[in-house]
A and B are shown apart, each in its own frame.
Chain A
Amino acid sequence: MAADGRVSRLRRMLALWGLYARMDVLWIARGLKASATFYFGDLLLGLSGVTWSFLLAQRFGGIGEWSPHQIVFMLGLALVVRGSLEIGFSLNVAFPSRRIGRGQLDHMLLMPQPLWMTIATDGFCPASGSGQLLAGSAVMAWALRALGLPIGAGWLALLVLHVASAAVIMLSFAYLWASLAFVAPRAAEEINSSTMRMLEQLKPFPLDGVGFGLTLGLMSVVPAGFLAWLPSRVLLGLEPSPSAWLWTPLAALGFAALATGVFRAGLGRYARTGSTRYLSHGFRR
């Protein structure tokens, strides 16, 4: 019975992903001006976030012990991680404080399916959200070629594992902070803009040598180190520990568990208070 339930849920999710993918393509087809502006705006923003790190690496022949090509690989990986979030969790699903703060969580709760399923499928935009993933893949491929790293099936599996883990950490971090919007919907509506900006600004740097305290902070309070730096160390073979490949996936599990617990607690409060953001004639308070 339990296996049947799992299969039926999987079928439902596949059907929803297919539906949202179709809607995404239809959105592009509906108006090329709007979709092209969105696509290139998103791409430009992603690239600008990593450009200055690249420029510094060029100017100083690397950053710390990292060579310019290793830096470029890390920047490509950072773009791929963000790009995978753009594909799977667009439309503010990765910025849940906006949905909670604006009272739009009600729309998700009304769906005839569990909330987690809505979160996992609602923001699927494989076409319009592909800019950073494609750009990041190209940047990474170029850096790998320059570095002459041997690429096999095992390495590719490790890459996928680390990209998925980093994306889970990014998403968990967003949901962790977004839970504040259950308590202060208006004040915390844009808290995810701050947290995402923070991750975006700190992810394109190698953290070797920043000191124990800061490294600890960047692997916990603001887990920017898991988004590109540590995965790059593992994938480029810079990390000597044989168990290093497990660190980011384990951190992803930890962050996901913590975020789930905190978000559920907030949801419990929301069930009692609801949202009061909209006035009866539609304007937001």
Chain B
Amino acid sequence: MLALRQWRATAWLAGSATVGESPVFLLDYLLRALRVAVLLSLWRIVIGARPDASPVALQAVLCYALLAEAFADQLYVRTTISEAFWQGSITQYFLRPMLLVPQFAAEMLGGWVVNFALFSLPLLLAAPLFGVDVRPASVLAAALFGMSLVLAISVGLAFDFIAAAVTVALEQPVWIVQWVRQAVTVVLAGSVVPLTLLPWNLGAVLEWLPFASIAWAPLAIYTGMGHAVRLIALQVVWAAVLWPLAGWLWRANREKVVGYGG
């Protein structure tokens, strides 16, 4: 019960900080909405001009693109651990009566709740206005999507702590590790382009990598583009591999963390 209260209180603090500070964060939602509109138009141009060249229907790709934006937070998991290194506030996290991973995860959750209520939900409700049918491929696909999304978050969180440990181990500025992570993820995770639409049969290869487990897997299951059982099995395997690796890397490097302030 105590742990649950700690989670809730931390999430509430993080969420209310996002909303309470300034309405400027709403502008970010406007930019994201514009981005969705452009991406949907582009998919209509790309596939609409050459429908025979696409192995999946345009409507499924549109649903994939809209869902990718609505669940962007969950499909590219980022806690504030990098900012904590950067600002020197990491020292405060070590002093609190709560484990490190739950602290950052709860903070992240608080931000997600705000983003989901103010952006994702309205976006999903407005999907018909964009000409997108966001219904799942089947009832089973919707249920498996939920399971796959939880696994995707788990794999993404492990990646975040691996990136944090690597930042400390290599003594690199936080933004460089973030750049590399972002660059690799954008192409390999399938969060922008469904892997099945990549040329040279690249998608079939990339599906086996851990990056595919953080975005492609849940989106492909929901839209019926991928083999649900295989994708979920791969997610379980990668979560089982990456969490022990993240734990080992963090334990090996956490004492190298030095906070100088922001």
Contact = CB atoms under 8 A, between A and B. Distances in A.
Interface in B6-41: 21-22, 24-25, 27-28, 31, 34-35, 37-38, 41
A60 B22 CA distance: 44
A188 B24 contact: yes
A226 interface: no
B182 interface: yes
B46 interface: yes
Contact of A187 (B24, B41, B192): B24
A198 B31 contact: yes
Given A51-B187, A187-B21, A283-B262, A202 B53 contact: no
Say what secondary structure dominates the interface of chain A.
helix
Contacts of A63: 42, 45-46
A258 to B, nearest CB: 17
A167 B141 CA distance: 46
B118 interface: no
Contacts of B170: 37
B183 A44 contact: yes
A195 B31 CA distance: 8
A63 B54 CA distance: 13
Say what secondary structure dominates the interface of chain B.
helix
B198 interface: yes
B186 A48 contact: yes
Given A38-B176, A58-B199, A64 B45 contact: yes
A38 B108 CA distance: 27
A281 B260 CA distance: 11
A162 interface: no
Interface residues of A, number: 47
Given A63-B45, A284-B262, A56 B197 contact: yes
A221 interface: yes
B191 to A, nearest CB: 10
A238 interface: no
Given A34-B172, A45-B179, A186-B21, A52 B192 contact: yes
B180 interface: yes
Contacts of A5: none
Contacts of A194: 27-28, 31
Nearest to B53: A60
A276 B198 CA distance: 49
Interface in B140-169: none
B102 interface: no
Interface of A: 34, 37-38, 41-42, 44-45, 47-49, 51-52, 55-56, 58-61, 63-64, 102, 180, 184, 186-188, 191, 194-195, 198, 201-202, 205-206, 208-211, 214, 217-218, 221-222, 281-284
28 contacts: A37-B176, A38-B173, A38-B176, A41-B179, A42-B179, A48-B182, A48-B184, A48-B187, A49-B183, A52-B192, A55-B198, A56-B46, A56-B197, A63-B42, A64-B49, A188-B24, A191-B27, A194-B27, A194-B31, A205-B42, A210-B38, A210-B42, A210-B45, A214-B38, A218-B38, A283-B88, A283-B262, A284-B87
Given A56-B197, A283-B262, 17 more contacts: A34-B172, A41-B183, A45-B182, A45-B183, A48-B187, A55-B198, A55-B199, A59-B53, A60-B49, A184-B21, A186-B22, A194-B28, A195-B31, A198-B34, A283-B87, A283-B261, A284-B261
